[in-house]
């Protein structure tokens, strides 16, 4: 069973940076896609970024392109989300996800199989 453990959230001023980490365990991830989603109060869970474990190909939602970077460390089985130039609208609970998700379906959270517990990111203005 896949286990995902996020860390790195916190409170930061607008314009600041945070790095989220997601430690993955429980299986081989070479055939998997890893992703980050976020959910603000009252809103649906939103796709942020994804990386294909075997190819390192990455995709981002338009609102974070140029500010966020998803990456991974194979040796540590850990995925990162480096968030720069943070804005108040980035405030949300951020979730790590893993699954065998197609290229046409990664943006929809219901297509993902495994989730972490979430970490709060709060950006003050």
pLDDT digits over 14-53, tens only?
999 999 999 999 887 878 999 999 999 999 999 999 999 9
Please state, in angstroms and rounded to a whole number, the distance separating the CA atoms of residues 91 and 69.
Answer: 17
**Helices (H), strands (E): how many in the chain?**
0, 11
Q: Please state whether beta strands 92-99 and 46-52 pair in parallel, antiparallel, or not at all (unpaired).
A: unpaired
Q: What's the pLDDT band for 102 if we cut at 50, 70, 90?
A: confident
Please state, in angstroms and rounded to a whole number, the distance separating the CA atoms of residues 114 and 60.
Answer: 19
* pLDDT 10s digits, 55-91: 899 999 999 999 999 999 999 999 999 999 999 999 9
Please state, in angstroms and rounded to a whole number, the distance separating the CA atoms of residues 28 and 30.
Answer: 6
Please state, in angstroms and rounded to a whole number, the distance separating the CA atoms of residues 54 and 84.
Answer: 26
**pLDDT given for residue 103 in this prediction:** 87
**pLDDT given for residue 1 in this prediction:** 86
Q: Pseudo-torsion of CA 61, 63, 68, 69, nearest 10°? A: 30
């Amino acid at each position: 069973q896949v286990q995902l453990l996020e860390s790195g959230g916190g409170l930061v001023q607008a314009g600041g940076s945070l790095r989220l980490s997601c430690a993955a365990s429980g299986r081989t991830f070479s055939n998997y896609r890893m992703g980050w989603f976020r959910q603000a109060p009252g809103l649906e869970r939103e796709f942020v970024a994804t990386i294909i474990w075997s190819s390192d190909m990455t995709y981002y939602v338009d609102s974070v392109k140029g500010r966020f970077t998803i990456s991974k460390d194979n040796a540590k089985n850990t995925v990162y989300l480096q968030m720069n130039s943070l804005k108040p609208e980035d405030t949300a609970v951020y979730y790590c996800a893993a699954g065998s998700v197609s290229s046409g379906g990664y943006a929809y959270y219901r297509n993902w199989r495994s989730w972490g517990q979430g970490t709060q990111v709060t950006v003050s203005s």
